[in-house]
């Protein structure tokens, strides 16, 4: 891959440290392992096209504008912090990224080689490195953390490992996973990371989407013209508002008609109150009479209950 005028690469081909191979046991083996471990920590330059995504990623796609700004900084000032990769577990000569996906993408866009630390990692070690790097930067949004946690658990990783990766306790992890599993994944990805939206609003959205037809409403809205161009937090607000429960209309009053046909009153009732409204035009003196007789009416009611 051409390097252009990059100061980050001294040649047109990357120099790759050998992949550590653990040697025999005993003193000689221990020394060999130490040397290989030190080699694994050295920063090398790799062709970004040789680096693949991990099986589970911890980020949702960000807005193009934000990435372009980040890529411009990389192009102007160079890559200051190396990424972490491991030798690909199944493909010879390739690598798999643990963290630094945005840096790799930005460096590739600049036409440069990417500075990387190559380290042999198990699947569990990759997850820990990935999670702890982002926890240290504290820049993952709530829903990114929630989706990442749910995907890890669905893949079979233990909750102890996920808690360590995300630096959360049991309660915090349960809340993360609960939100992610109750919101369809395609809706989460269509909304995006929503960095300003916290746990409470995502939890409420999960509840709203459980109502019949709400998920379809959300999907239709997220694919509508104009909505896809909004910022992620604004897309969340659109979906949040569109799936709000409809407020029940005020109960309609029923007309009470006397035996002589006079529409003397209207009755309105809800779960908490019953309202009796006297029509003064139709029965001018009925209201006063009713108020005067109210003590006796109530006493009669109590006697009726007593029976």
φ, ψ of residue 58 in degrees (nearest 5): -105, 5
Q: How many CA atoms lie within 13 A of 25 on its CB side?
A: 0
Spans of all domains in the chain? 1-123, 140-244, 254-296
Classify domain 1-123 by CATH architecture. Alpha-Beta Complex (3.90)
Q: What is the mean pLDDT of residues 146-174?
A: 91
pLDDT range class, residue 21, cuts 50, 70, 90:
very low
pLDDT range class, residue 175, cuts 50, 70, 90:
very high
Read off the pLDDT of residues 185-214 as tens digits, 9 standing for 90 and up.
Answer: 999 999 999 989 999 999 999 999 999 999
Classify domain 140-244 by CATH architecture. Orthogonal Bundle (1.10)
- Same topology, domains 1-123 and 140-244? Answer is no
Q: Which residues contact 126 (CB under 8 A, 6 or more apart)?
A: 54, 86, 96, 98
38 pLDDT higher than 50: no
Following DSSP, what letter does each residue of 237-278 receive, concatenated? HHHHHHTSPPPPPPPPPEEEE-TTS-EEEEEEE-SS-EEEEE
What is the pairing mode between strands 43-46 and 114-118? antiparallel
How many Cβ atoms are within 10 Å of 184's Cβ, its own excluded? 13
Q: Max alpha carbon distance in the chain (Å)?
A: 112
Residues constituting the chain: 307
For the record, the structure tokens of 225 come out as 């013209």
Decide: helix, strand or coil at residue 192: coil
For the record, the structure tokens of 189 come out as 């990805």
Is pTM beyond 0.85? Reply is: no
């Amino acid at each position: 891959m051409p390097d252009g005028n990059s100061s980050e690469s001294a040649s047109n081909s990357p120099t790759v440290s050998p992949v550590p191979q653990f040697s025999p046991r005993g003193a000689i083996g221990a020394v060999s392992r130490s040397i290989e471990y030190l080699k694994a920590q050295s920063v090398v330059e790799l062709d970004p096209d040789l680096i693949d995504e991990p099986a589970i990623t911890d980020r949702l796609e960000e807005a193009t504008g934000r990435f372009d700004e980040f890529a411009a900084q990389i192009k102007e000032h160079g890559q200051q912090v190396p990424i972490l990769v491991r030798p690909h577990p199944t493909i010879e000569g390739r690598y798999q990224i643990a963290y630094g996906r945005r840096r790799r993408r930005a460096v590739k866009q600049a036409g440069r080689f990417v500075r990387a630390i190559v380290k042999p990692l198990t699947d569990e070690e990759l997850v820990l490195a990935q999670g702890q790097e982002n926890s240290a930067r504290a820049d993952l949004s709530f829903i990114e953390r929630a989706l990442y946690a749910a995907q890890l658990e669905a893949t079979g990783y233990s909750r102890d490992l996920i808690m360590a990766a995300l630096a959360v306790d049991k309660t915090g992890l349960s809340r993360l996973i609960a939100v992610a599993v109750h919101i369809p994944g395609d809706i989460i990805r269509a909304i995006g990371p929503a960095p300003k939206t916290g746990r409470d609003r995502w939890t409420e959205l999960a509840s709203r989407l459980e109502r019949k037809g709400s998920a379809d409403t959300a999907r239709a809205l997220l694919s509508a013209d104009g909505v896809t161009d909004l910022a992620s937090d604004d897309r969340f607000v659109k979906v949040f508002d569109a799936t709000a429960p409809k407020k029940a209309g005020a109960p309609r009053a029923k007309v009470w008609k006397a035996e002589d046909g006079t529409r003397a009153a209207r009755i309105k009732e809800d779960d908490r109150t019953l309202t009796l409204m006297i029509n003064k035009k139709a029965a001018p003196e009925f209201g006063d009479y009713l108020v005067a007789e109210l003590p006796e009416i109530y006493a009669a009611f109590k006697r009726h209950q007593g029976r």
